[in-house]
Structures are given as structure tokens and as C-alpha cells.
Structure 1
């Protein structure tokens, strides 16, 4: 089991959160609390960089959906970047790859 870390950085287009470690039942509340505490403006893009995420269960997927809902409610967008293969597979199986913007990395958002 790998400890979850969340690192936040402000970019020109909005906040970027680097999520690393295990996103599961024990840690998903941390992500939900962190994300819903962000102040988003209309037109911004909340970027969730997942390259360091080692594991994601259904609670983790729910936390990603909470982030999407929070961004949408603020008139902002959300993008997932550097999604690990194991998580991408889950997103595809349940059709969430159709509702999330998915980018290979966070470079475009960081400019």
C-alpha cells in the first residue's frame, strides 16, 4: 500500500493537482475534500495529473467524478493527465473516458 500524496500548483489555466499513491477507500475522502475546497472560476481547467497513482478502486473513481462535478458546477472544465494504464482501462470499461477530457500529460495546461 502506497501513501497518497496530493500536490497543488496554480497554472495559467487553473489548478493542477498531482495525485500519487493509492487512491482507494481509505484515501478518496482526502481527494474529495481537497478538490471541493478549490475555488474555480468559469473557463478554468482543473487538471488532475495521475501519473504517480499506483492504485485506484471504485472509491477513487468516485473521487474523480466529484472533481468533475465540482468543476462543472463552477463553469470550469476538468482534465485527467498521465492516466496510468490500469486506471485508463477502468475508465474505458465504465465509459468514463467519454465524459472526461484525457490528455497524455499536463504540459499544455501548465503553459
Structure 2
């Protein structure tokens, strides 16, 4: 999916686990698309989401709220939300608000896959950085 400032790529779906790679800006205009795509994946039987944010250049409070909403919906489906390659500014916001305790962050998507007991997808970049 491609919004004017955000590209979302589902790089992997395996059983209950899905990897979504976000590239661009997560703001008031694009956060609803991120949330909607994540909720589609949860409804499709992938309640454990890994969100690779390595390509995110900006995230405002709307994006932050979308992450919390995604986490709530994943938890309601007995799932989880893990973040990978979180930009420094967003990482600080997650830490300052205490949200980082609710959604684990990993340096790379491959580490998040390993934490879930799954094998990271292969291929060019494999969705992992």
C-alpha cells in the first residue's frame, strides 16, 4: 500500500505472524492507513505483528497513537506488536511515555523474528535490516 507519504509493505505472513515494513512519514494523514492495514492483518489471522520502522523518517503523535491502537487490537486478538529498527526520536517518545514496556523493540526485524521463535524471510533484504 502506498499513501502519498507512507509506503507499507507486508514482507512476510506465516501463521499468526506478519511483518510490515513502513517507509516514509507516519503523521495525521498516513497514520489511519497504517492502523487499517495492521487491523486487516490481525483480522486475517496474523495477530502477532512486527512493524519494521527503519524507513520511517517522521512520526508525530498521530502515528504514536496509531501504534497504541494497533497494540490494543493485537492484544484483544491474543496477539502482540513488536517494533524493529525504531528511529531514535520515536524510541525516546516510547521510553518517556512508558509504552516501550508494552511493545518490545529490536534493532532489526530478524531479531524480532527470533524472539517470536520464527525464521526471518529470505530474499533481497528479506524485510530485515
2:23 and 2:56 in contact (8 A); partners too: yes
Secondary structure at the aligned position of 1:63 is classed as helix
Partner of 1:36: 39
Gaps in structure 2 of 5+ consecutive residues: 120-129
Greater than 6 Å deviation, 4+ residue runs: none
Map Cα deviations across residues 71-106 of structure 1 (whole Å, 9 max, x no partner).
Answer: 111111210010010110111111111111111111
Find the aligned partners of 2:13 and 2:85 in 1 and give their Cα distance.
Answer: 17
From 7, 10, 13, the equivalent of 1:8 is 10
Specify every segment of 5 or more residues in structure 1 that has no aligned partner in the other structure, as ranges. Answer: none
The two structures have a TM-score, normalised by structure 2, of 0.76
Which residue matches 1:107? 110
Deviations 1:45-89 (A, max 9, x none): 210000000000110001111211121111112100100101101
CA offsets per residue over residues 11-58 of structure 1, 9 Å max, x none?
Answer: 4461100011110001101111111111235xx621000000000011
- Size of the aligned set, in residue pairs, is 108
User: Normalising to structure 1: TM-score of the pair?
Assistant: 0.88
